[in-house]
Amino acid sequence: MSTAKHRTQISLEPWQYEILMEQSRKTRKSLARIIREMIAEKFAGNKSDREKDPIMGIIGMGSGDGTAIARNHDAVLYPKGHSN
């Protein structure tokens, strides 16, 4: 994690503060650290979920000569004179 951090102030409901304080006592972590970890878990998880998706494994599997096959896929798949 980066050492340069942005300072901010938030207002919590009493029950939210109590839950965080209890977690702080149990883990011996600061409130700020707990909140940063919760934010990272909530939002960084989205990226890792995408990376875990099996479909992501096909990225980069193919290779080509730089021609626009994706744009002209019908011409490549169904050349003139070829009957289906």
Q: Domain ranges in the chain?
A: 14-77
Tokens of 71: 């744009």
Mean pLDDT score, 63-67: 73
30-69 burial: b if 16+ Cβ within 10 Å, else e: eeeebbeeeeeeeeeeeeeeeeeeeeeeeeeeeeeeeeee
Kindly tell me if the per-residue pLDDT of 82 is higher than 60.
yes
Between 28 and 78, the more confident residue is 28
Kindly tell me if the per-residue pLDDT of 64 is higher than 80.
no
